[in-house]
A and B are shown apart, each in its own frame.
Chain A
Amino acid sequence: MAMRTAVRRAATRPGSLPASLASLAEKLLTPHGVDRYLELVDPMLVRREIRGEVVALRRPTRDSVTLTVRPSRAWRGFAAGQFVRVTVDIDGVRRTRCYSPAGSAHRDGELEFTVKAHEGGLVSRQLHEHGHVGMVLGLSPADGTFALPEPRPDSIVLIAGGSGITPVLSMLRTLVDERYPGEVSLLYYARTPADVPYAEELDALAARRGVRIHVRHTASDGRFTAEHLRRVAPWFARATTFLCGPPPLMEAVRALYADAGISERLHTEEFVPPVLTVGAAETGGRIRFARSGVDVVSDGRPLLEQAEDAGLSPEHGCRMGICFSCTQRKVSGVVRTASGEESAEDDEEIQLCVTAAVGDVEIDC
């Protein structure tokens, strides 16, 4: 791995022969650029964009799929816990969703994604039902602040539920690869034994020195309690905790940490977009998308959705306020963000996916 990285760096050092050739090729193939020609030969040859080819695929539970993906040369690795924006083509339209690689950050020559198929979900179902070896996905660089800090904390608690296993499993696998000397405990919730992806691997990891893993089945053991946590990590109050799971689990753990006065030791990742609430009295404002010359009446939903319903296609990624791809300039008016804050500043940059109009708003988009 280290060698491959070294070779990759040399290939792109400015002034080197390959770099001069690449720049000549770009000049010859203007205005479209080299990638637009290379991809016609093989979509994985692209130099600037990141793509990933599915090289293995299995369905560990009834409603999930695990994809092993080999990224193209522009991939620059990730920190355990981060996410990647994955793009798939569905009936001609590109759809992008965030997925957290579940593998060790030290083995980034192959990425592993485990995706839970949501009923009525567009991308997760596409991957679950139509994913296949050889499929090419669009990838973004890894992103997000939910990641193992450097230097590593002395002891670590990982709490996850359902598909939220992925970022914390990546952390656990990374720590094991590093021969992490501290204590690490994983508390994982799934509905039934049949709903646990990685069951065998979790057993194997639990046999490692310093690693403790408890898998709880909510159908029989009930939901999260402080007792569950104390069993697997009696020392949790002095550890650093990483939490990812469905909203009820997140709330219960947050409440416990708040009561214990250790909220600052808790790091969280949400997979589900926050719900935007604009009071009924505040809908009905006029939203003007100035550059497109389109006007709509606000129904209180995020500006991104309203723009799309009006036939516009603003750029976006995560649709939940993480990636900032949907940032546009608000010329005037008041908007409310998902956290409930209102902002009336003119000419401010707003994220269309997590803001709603309060009254008349004009956006330069």
Chain B
Amino acid sequence: MTGLQDRLTPEQVEEFGREMDELRRRVVADLGADDVEYIQNVIKTQRGLEVTGRALMYAGFFPPAWLAGVGALSLAKILDNMEIGHNVMHGQYDWTRDPALSSQRFEWDNVAPAENWRHSHNYIHHTYTNIVDKDRDVGYGILRIDPAQQWHPYYLGNPVYATLLAIFFQWGVMLHDLEVDRVVKGERKWSEFGEERRRIGRKMGRQIGKDYVLFPLLTGPLAPLTFAGNAAANLARNLWAFGIIFCGHFPADVESFSEEETEQETRGQWYLRQILGSANITGGPLFHILSGNLSHQIEHHLFPDIPARRYPQIAGEVRAICEKYGLPYHTGPLHKQLWSVAKKIVKFALPGSGDREPEPVTVERDRTPAAA
């Protein structure tokens, strides 16, 4: 794998960074009522689907109604977590100063408390994208997904762990924020996570309370069907979110980085890493919305705090800039990216799949600190 800095001269990297900054400036200056109307419409749709799904459970004895209810509720949860929750919690709508769209106050329909997730995702993952040992999203702390991760017999279970993670993804995210993997390895102590654990306790109580106790009880004799329907909707959201997120960073041609090569990055180098470390998924407009526009993972990683509906609009420009600098722009349809990730999960279950040699840093760098 090529070292990050070998591809372009330092001047080219900074020029490239300036073009990205300029693109960002233009989009930010254009934000306004349309962006708010868009997200409000998504919210309205989500709330409508949720109410419909809950209501259909009262007719759960009629299989088509039950299925339609599960469908509506699954879509509601997917929209809530992806296009609304993930994006609002990134601060994409903080400029509106609407408390209901505030990254600090928004809470999503997911057992992982927003506050814990914001730390592990917005800060750790987005700052240290694809830096092995620093970005804890590389393999989620339980999978081996990169040759730079040392093999261990534990990883023989890679495909099993991945399947379990997909099925229980919201719980995985919740434990991931708690850094359970590192606690098990003895790198961190339980006692360091008192605050996070209390938040999880409260959030779990509320989430389980509504999906698995209150709503089922309210449907009286249909309680078991409602329980199963709610579980099915949570499962659908889990599989979908897992699929989208794993396709965003782990298809075969996406690169990972070492701590040394990313020390003291400039802003241009940071942008460069985001492009090389992310992959898009092609699809239609509805697919993009349901993926929370994470199908535009590259644009999202370049500009995590710009409203996601802007990503498809700027994708053409980003791609053209990449071409101009001879940079790859990873993209492909969902099935291809999923297949590529699945192959990787199986391949890295086995030892010695081509250990990665960090390339020496070959160019002098401008030592201005990178923006996060």
What is A's interface to B at a CB cutoff of 8 Å?
Answer: 24, 27-32, 36-37, 40, 89, 91-96, 293, 313
Residues of B within 8 A of A313 (CB): 94-95, 97
Q: Indicate whether A92 sits within 8 Å of B33 (C-beta atoms), given known contacts A28-B214, A31-B109.
A: yes
Are B109 and A27 in contact (CB-based, < 8 A)? no
Chain B contact residues, majority secondary structure: helix
Chain A contact residues, majority secondary structure: mixed
Of B96, B203, B215, which is within 8 A of A28 by CB? B215
CB distance from B317 to the nearest CB of A (A): 21
Residues of A within 8 A of B48 (CB): 40
Q: Indicate whether A31 sits within 8 Å of B108 (C-beta atoms), given known contacts A293-B372, A313-B95.
A: yes
Of B31, B36, B206, which is within 8 A of A31 by CB? B206
Are B31 and A92 in contact (CB-based, < 8 A)? yes
Residues of A within 8 A of B34 (CB): 92
- The 3 A-B pairs with the shortest beta carbon distances in the complex, nearest first, are A31-B107, A92-B36, A94-B97
The complex places the Cα of A91 from the Cα of B44 at a distance, in Å, of 20
Q: What is the 8 Å Cβ interface bit string for chain B, positions 212-251, against chain A (1 contact, 0 not)?
A: 0011001000000000000000000000000000000000
Residues of A within 8 A of B107 (CB): 31-32
A sample of 17 inter-chain contacts (CB < 8 A) reads: A24-B214, A28-B210, A30-B210, A31-B107, A31-B108, A31-B109, A36-B100, A37-B47, A37-B51, A40-B44, A40-B47, A89-B33, A89-B36, A92-B32, A92-B33, A95-B97, A313-B95
* In the assembled complex, B98 has its CB within 8 A of some CB on chain A: yes
What is B's interface to A at a CB cutoff of 8 Å?
Answer: 31-37, 43-44, 47-48, 51, 94-98, 100, 107-109, 203, 206-207, 209-210, 214-215, 218, 372
Taking CB as reference atom, which chain B residue is nearest A35? Answer: B100
Q: Indicate whether A91 sits within 8 Å of B97 (C-beta atoms), given known contacts A30-B210, A31-B107, A293-B372.
A: no
Of A27, A40, A94, A96, which is within 8 A of B210 by CB? A27
CB distance from B46 to the nearest CB of A (A): 9
The complex places the Cα of A300 from the Cα of B214 at a distance, in Å, of 55
Are B96 and A92 in contact (CB-based, < 8 A)? yes
The complex places the Cα of A32 from the Cα of B214 at a distance, in Å, of 16
CB distance from A46 to the nearest CB of B (A): 11
Taking CB as reference atom, which chain B residue is nearest A39? Answer: B100
Q: Indicate whether A92 sits within 8 Å of B35 (C-beta atoms), given known contacts A27-B210, A30-B206.
A: yes
